[in-house]
Structures are given as C-alpha cells and as structure tokens.
Structure 1
Amino acid sequence: MVREEMTAVLTPPLALEGGLAAEHRAPNLIQRILSLFHNVRPGSDLTNFQLPPMFNLPKSQLQLFAEMIYCINDDYLSKCVEGSSSLERFTAVVAWNISMIRPPIFGLAPYNPVLGETHHVSRGTLNILLEQVSHHPPVTALHATDEDKNIELIWCQHPTPKFHGTTVEATMHGRRQLKLARFDENYEMETPKLLIRILPIPGIEWVGNVRIKCKESGLEADLCFHKTNPFLGFGRNSRLVKGKIFYSNSLRTIYEIEGHWDRTVALKDVNSGESQIIYNAKEAIGKLTTPSIKDPKGLQPSESVVVWSEVSRSILDKDWGKAREAKRSIEEKQRELQRERKSKGEVWAPKHFILRHSKECGWDCSPIENVVHEAPIIAPCPEETRD
C-alpha cells in the first residue's frame, strides 16, 4: 500500500533580522490585545487561554522550542565538545545557552500543541525529536542526539503564563540537560521568563535569573536577563545579560559576563582583566534559513507542520475565517479523541517518552529510545548557510 504524502507548511524561524518578525505586523494591535484580556482577572493562569488565529504565529510551540537548537548560523552546540579543559567547555555551554534566546514578536504567540503532537528535525548529524506529552497542564519533552559528537539533550518544558493586569509573565518550569558523553559531563540549565508588557509602553522581553551547573567539573554560572525601565530607560538597556562563572565549592568567581543577547556578550577574566567575545548574535541568529522537507513520505500525521498546516496556510494568506475554522476543527478532534478514551477507560501514554511527576521535582521526561534517528525535515548546517 502506497502511503499518501502529508500536507505540510514550514515557516521562517524567529531571527534577529527578517523572518517572521518582518512579515507579521497586525494593525491596531494594542486595542485588540486589551479586548482579549477584558474579562480576565489579574493573577489568572493563562495556560489554557485560547487565542484567535489573528494572534497566532504560523507555527507550534514545539517548533519554537526546537528552532532554538537547529536554526542557527554559527554552531555553538558543537563548540561545547571542542574545549580542551572543563572550563573551556563550560564557557562554551554558557555561550550556547545564550544563543538559544530568540527575539519574540509582541502580540503574537505560537499554537498550543495538541496531545501527542511531535516535531522531528535533523541538522547535520544532530537529530531532534519533540513530543507533547501532556495537554493539561502543557508539558513538552525534547530528546536530541548527535552520535558523531557524543552529544545528548533531554528537556522537559512546562510553561505557566499568568496575567497580572498590565503584563503577562510566562515562567518555564522543567529541566534542561546537556550531556557530553565523551567527557562524562552533564550540564543542567534553567530558562529565563518571558515578560509581555501591555501598558504603559508595549513590549516583550526575556527576564530573570538562569543557573547553569556541571557537578562533574564543579563549575556553575549565574546569568541575569534584565528588563527595560519603560519610563527612564527608553529601551537603552534592553536585552542586557550579566553574570559570572564560578566554582561551586568555594564560590570563587573566574569570569564575569556582560553584554546584550541581541548584540555581543563578553567574558572577562577577573584575575587578568582580559576580555573576549563569546557570543555574537548577528552572526549566530541573523537572517536564519527556513528548514525544508527532505522526505515528504516520512512525515508523521502527528508532525507539527502537518497538524497545523491548514491553519498556518490560512494565516499566511490572511484568510482569518478559514484559519478560525481550521483551528476549531483541530480542537474539536482532540475533544472527540478525549471522549473516546474516557468511554473506553483508556489512559493516553506518550509514544517516545516516559512521563513522571512529583511534588518535589515537578515534571520529568525520559526518552524511551537511546538514539534519535534521522528526520524527514532538514535544517541547513552552518556551512550550507554560508554557501
């Protein structure tokens, strides 16, 4: 039996220049956003808040998570295994962590992934697989492996957006792990919060503290993403990141970190006073290339770019009526599947991950397979991008 090819829509990634930010600017945005939250009380959890398609990016949250890894011009992840010492590798991990910060678009949000939705992409020898392992609450699992470089990523993401009257603050719970098997090093890292400011001056920015640590080397880093003062700063100090790298046991600082994540970030040796640039945003995330489909027949029905293809195409065409109907159809199908499982007494289980939850540790996801295989969707390697 010949399998039919899936309809899929791929859209440009969030980039420092160009991409979706240049293509999607809704008119009368502030008035429309205020009307959205007219009946929402301050302190409300917006996890299950449904946005009209006019406020959606034409892509799923799973894609945004994954694009932080596979959409990049300068391969900061591979640099993490190139260091000759644990300190050099740790510094590279800090730079890679900063490289995953992407400029969000004010007033637009990705689709909330449906239960069991997946996203599978390869870039070079790095293969990445995500699955929406819970819908209420929303939990996303990520597993990526690069067998050539002995790199493994295991993430469990649980966003909780809350409305605070004039702002929306999204906290990203869950654990991010980067494993460098060649050196027997395991890095754990946190994620900054996303702050959406509606009044008095609209804006959206990454804020808060991030800790990165490696128990094997005894090294840690603290990063602080600063928010802009809308009255006095006028954006002058926006996207500022400051921090330090230090030894866990003695708390002795080795390097100080300072810069802007959308420009350059420098590392200063506290002993010698020498500085070096460890991250250049223009080179890393400027004018990113959209992934392509290498094997259309290999796409799964659960793949994000397939699930949301009709909605995304309608948004790109600005056919809002068709977008609303397509989105409503997806949501109704999910409710119908939930009713069927309930009537049969079935409990849904993830296909690619084992999901656990505890009051002490929160949500945790373990991949069922040790290796992620090559995907039907391909992101260009840095060398191909430069060509």
Structure 2
Amino acid sequence: MNSPKSKHSSSPVPKVAPSYSSALISYVKSILTFKGSIISSNCPALFLSGVSLLELAADWGDYFSFLVDASNSQNSTDKSLNVAKWVLSSFRSSYFGMSLGDRISIKKPYNPILGEQFYCEWFHEEYGTTKLTCEQVSHHPPISAFSLENDKYEIICNGYSEQRLKFAGTSLTVDQVGVVSVLFKKTNQLSVISLPSLSISGLLVADPIVEICGTVLIRSSDQTNCILEFIKKPYFYGNYFKFKGIITPYSNNERKRNDPEEIQLNSAKNQNSEKSCVMEGNWTTSSTFNLVENGKASKSNSNVSSSTNNLKNYKNARSDSPKPQNLLDFEDLKPLKRVIAPLSSQSEFESHKVWHDVTEALGVLDFNKAAESKNLIENAQRELRKTEKTNNYAWSPRLFTFIEFNDIKNSEFRDAFQNVQSEKPNISNGLWVKNELLDMYKS
C-alpha cells in the first residue's frame, strides 16, 4: 500500500474523497470474509494509489550512497553498518509515507501484470549513474524481481519479493517473502538481506497506520552478521517505529541450523579483532549506534533472538559503551531524484504505460473511469492467459532467471544465502537474477 501523494508517480493522484472513511470500513469488512488471497481481491478504484507495486522497488535506490560508503569501508563492521543504514533508509522511503504522511489515505498499489517492466535511474556527481531494472516474473503467486547496478563502484543488487496478506485480529499483516543481495565486485563480498513483515492497524476505524515488525537478517560473506529487530507498538502504551539492532562477527562453527526465532551471533570460539555494534532508535526519524568490544556485546548471552529477553542483550552491550554516535537523522538526509523515461519513450510493458489510463482517471477523481480502465487491463490479461493455455505456450520472464542457491558457484556467497534461508523458512531455495548478471553467480 502507498500514500496517494506519492513520490513514485509522475501523474497527479487524488488526496482523499469525502466518503473515504466509510468506504474503507465497508471494504475492509468485505475482505474479512473473502476466500482466497486478499491481494487478488478486487479493490475499489477509490483505494488505488496510482502506482504499480513493481515501481516500489525504486525505494532501494533513493539512498544508494550508503552502499558506496559500504564499498569504501575499511573493515567488515563498518561495511555492515553502512549496509544496515541503506536498508533502514530504504524502508523509510517505502513505508514512512504510508505511516504518517496522511494516515487516513493509505492506498493500494496496482497489482502488476505478468511481464510488466519498470526502469529508473539516479545520477550523482560522485558515484555516477545507478540503474534499476524491474520485472513482474510471476502472477500466481505475484513475484516482483529487481536489479540495481552502479558500474563506477561495481555494486550490484538483486532482489525479489512476494507479498502475502492476511488478517490477524483487527490488523492486516503483510508478510514479504523474498530476499535482497548486494554484491561488491571490487572486494568480491556479498550481503544477503531478508525482508520485513508489515502490520496495518486501525483499518476498522478508518485510521490506519503501517508498522514494520519482526526481524530482518543481514548476513555477509565476510562472516559478519546483523539483526534488525522492529518493535510493534503495544496497544495501550509506547511509541511507534522503534527498532534495535546488533552487528557481530560469526564463525564457520556457528553456521548451524537453529530455530527460526533464534540466531546465534557470537561465541567464545570467535574472538575476532573487529568490534561489534549496537543500534537503536526510530527508523522514521533518527537513531544512534555504539561500537563495543565483542565480549561486552555478548557477555549476557551468546544468542540473540526475537524474544523479549533479547532486549536485555542490547542494554547490557550499551552499558559499558561510549556516548552514542549518530546513525541516521532524516532531517539531514534527502533522497536522490529519480529519473524515469517519458511516456512516449516507454514500451507497452512498462508500468507507467500499462496503467496510464487508470492513473490519469484517478488524477481527476474519475473513479468510474479508473475502474473501467483497470478492468479492461485485467480482462485482457485473463484472455491472454487463456490463449496461451490453448496454444500450449509457457510464458517465461524476459529479463530475469531464477537460480537455486545450490547452483551459486562461490561457496561463501552460497553459505550466506542458505544461512538466511535456514532462519527464514518462507524464503524460497533460490533468487531471481538479471540475465546479464547470471555469470557472476552461477557455475
């Protein structure tokens, strides 16, 4: 979901119609009894954001400078810290507008059509051009793949995501299934990142708010491990958008298959010269970090899990540490400007061209026209799938190929992927890679 006052779309999108609140409550009640995948349910045009879900992958490129900093880092702790900054800032770019920009106007992005594509670029004097390529590689289930590339610093990101929606009590939970990897070609190092879950509460009173919840793992091939734990606000007290995090080295001895809720980070056998790092704060505004000795970071317990007891580990790690340093302060950070080709230069498969008529109608609050245009697109896709089935035609992605983790030639890269998979069982056994980049991964 996304706010209608979106940075992603070049077309005007409506703010809020007067009947939004009552219509939202009615819609939520209807999907409470919907059988099947909620994401495939028919969404009224009033609740459409004017942006394709595929385009949201551009959020990974808005603060790419942190990956440049990671590439230039002199040690593994600093590298992981900068990767964590990139992850947190990307999450803010994705979810903050949904949370506080105009809470009552949370809206749903378009479900991308099969084979839909999206391209975007960012230009910077220091680190050159960063290019984004996206493709909808599956419709059932809906899976979006993306690749982010910077030739000057030889940084390549590959990722995919599938969103699974379900109601838990009065909240809507969005489980984001997928993985993102960052390859630093200059140093031949890889970081693997799991995706967070989202919780949308307040829907039944038409006052929705989006929170990140659960844990995000960042495993690096240089044997550095990071956990970011996002804390959902309790019902009656507390603050929104809190998180805690820890970065520690880990050894080959510790790459064992633990319970999904418990990830071993450090042990007495692994006394690395690198410092550990603890982080905390608000992922939408500001946060801090401390560098601490490995023993202090783990003296209370060698395991860090998602349990409440884990919070004591962070507290103990910080108790002997120096004054906190600034991690992120979004008052001082501005995302780079996105550059998207004009509509006249786009192919028929690109997001802005596919959904142009719908977005244009939304921009003038013509929800009937928007619904009609959306139905035309979806019906055409259904007919196309029927024709393909009749002709025994098997559709395949044009831009991306799925490879299994077992086929990754670099053993350290393979271990990093499989280590994350062991802790996040809903991740598949492979990843989607842009065709031109397959040789960097596959044997």
Interval containing the TM-score (normalised by the shorter chain): 0.7 to 0.9
Equivalent in the alignment of 1:318: 365
What CA distance in whole angstroms lies between the structure 2 residues aligned with 1:213 and 1:95?
A: 14
Q: Any idea what the Cα deviations from partners look like across 1:352-384, whole Å, max 9, x if unmatched?
A: 01136899835631221139xxxxxxxxxxxxx
Distance 2:398 2:245 in 1: 39
Alignment of 1:229-308 (within 5 A): 229-233=234-238, 237-249=239-251, 251=266, 254-271=276-293, 272-285=321-334, 289=337, 291-294=338-341, 297-308=344-355
> Structure 1 CA distance, aligned partners of 2:434 and 2:91?
25
Residues of 2 paired with 1:64 and 1:169: CA distance? Answer: 18
Partner residue of 1:190 out of 191, 194, 211: 194
One of 351, 359, 364 as aligned partner of 2:398: 351
What is the DSSP-based 3-state SS (H/G/I as helix, E as strand, rest coil) of the residue aligned with 2:29?
Answer: coil
Tell me the matched-pair count: 351
Residue identity in the other structure for 2:82: A
CA distance in 2, matches of 1:65, 1:207: 19
What amino acid sits opposite 2:37 in the alignment?
D
Q: How does 1:63-82 map to 2 (within 5 A)?
A: 63-66=55-58, 68-72=59-63, 75-82=65-72
Match of 1:227 in 2: 232
| AA partner of residue 206 (structure 1) | I
**What residue is the counterpart of 2:308 in the other structure?**
none
Distance 1:268 1:25, change over 3 A: farther
Identify the range of structure 1 (273-282 vs 129-138) with the bigger mean alpha-carbon deviation. Answer: 273-282
1:58 equivalent to 2:50? Answer yes
Distance 1:297 1:61, change over 3 A: same
Aligned to 2:27: 36
Is 1:112 matched with 2:81?
A: no
What are structure 2's unaligned runs of at least 5 residues? 124-128, 252-264, 268-274, 294-320, 406-425, 439-443
Counterparts of 1:159-174 in structure 2 under 5 Å? 159-174=163-178
Measured in 2, the distance between the counterparts of 1:242 and 1:22 equals 35
| CA-based RMSD | 2.9
Choose from 7, 10, 23 the match for 1:13.
7
For the 8 Å contact 2:163–2:174, the answer to whether it is kept is: yes
Deviation at 1:28, TM superposition (A): 4.5
**Counterpart of 1:206?**
212
In terms of mean alpha carbon deviation, does 263-272 or 176-185 score higher?
263-272
Q: Distance between the aligned counterparts of 1:297 and 1:191, measured in 2?
A: 35
* Alpha-carbon separation, structure 1, partners of 2:61 and 2:54: 12
Question: TM-score, normalized by length of structure 1?
Answer: 0.82
- Could you tell me whether the CA contact under 8 Å between 1:156 and 1:363 is conserved in 2? no
- Do the aligned partners of 1:42 and 1:164 also contact (CA within 8 Å) in 2? no
Letter in 1 for 2:175: T
Decide which of 91, 94, 104 is 1:101's aligned counterpart. 91
For 2:12 and 2:86, locate their aligned partners in 1 and report how far apart those are by CA, in whole Å.
23
Q: Which residue of 1 aligns with 2:16?
A: 25
Cα–Cα, structure 1 residues 22 and 246, in superposed 2: closer, same or farther, change >3 Å? Answer: farther
- More divergent stretch after superposition (192-201 vs 42-51): 42-51
The offset of 1:30, in angstroms, is 3.9
Amino acid at match of 2:121: S
Provide the rounded CA distance (Å) in 2 between the counterparts of 1:43 and 1:163.
12
Equivalent in 158, 162, 166 of residue 158 of structure 1: 162
Structure-2 separation of matches of 1:326 and 1:78:
42
Contact 1:158 1:363 in 2 (8 A): no
Greater mean deviation of Cα atoms: 55-64 or 43-52: 43-52
Distance, in Å, in 1 between the alignment partners of 2:182 and 2:17 is 38
**Do 1:133 and 1:355's aligned partners in 2 also have CA atoms closer than 8 Å?**
no
Q: Partner of 1:315: helix, strand, or coil?
A: helix
Which amino acid is the alignment partner of residue 266 of structure 2?
L
Q: Name which one, 1 or 2, has greater alpha-carbon Rg.
A: 2
- The correspondence for 1:333, drawn from 380, 383, 387, is 380
1:49 counterpart = 2:49: no
- SS of alignment partner, residue 186 of structure 2: helix
How far is 1:35 from its partner?
A: 1.1
Task: Describe the SS at the equivalent of 1:47.
Answer: helix
CA change 1:43–1:278 in 2 (3 A) is: farther
- How far apart, in 1, do the equivalents of 2:237 and 2:374 lie? 41
Q: Is the 8 A contact 1:12 1:20 kept in 2?
A: no
Q: Percent same amino acid among aligned pairs?
A: 24
Check 1:356–1:345 CA distance in 2 against 1; reply closer, same or farther (3 A cut). farther
How far is 1:25 from its partner?
Answer: 3.2
Following TM superposition, where does structure 1 have runs of at least 4 consecutive aligned residues deviating by more than 4 angstroms? 19-23, 292-297, 356-360
CA displacement 1:29-82 (0-9 Å, x = unmatched)? 44322211324339963131221121111110111122x12334x832322212
1:283 positional shift: 3.0
Report if the CA contact (8 A) 2:289-2:326 is conserved: yes
Normalised TM-score (structure 2): 0.72
**Higher deviation after alignment, 142-151 or 356-365:** 356-365
CA contact (8 A) 1:174 1:362 kept: no
In structure 1, C-alpha distance between the alignment counterparts of 2:172 and 2:332, rounded to whole Å? 31
Which structure's residues are more often helix, by fraction? Answer: 2
Alpha-carbon deviation of 1:223?
0.7
Alpha-carbon distance between aligned partners in 1 of 2:430 and 2:375, rounded to the nearest angstrom: 29
After superposition, what is the alpha-carbon deviation per residue over 1:69-125, rounded to whole angstroms, capped at 9, x for unaligned?
A: 2334x8323222121222211111011110111314253111111100000111121
Q: Is the CA contact 2:388–2:394 (under 8 Å) kept in the aligned structure 1? A: yes
Q: Is the 8 A contact 2:8 2:55 kept in 1?
A: no
Q: Secondary structure at the match of 1:34?
A: helix
- In structure 2, relative to structure 1, the CA distance for the partners of 1:225 and 1:25 (3 Å cut) is farther
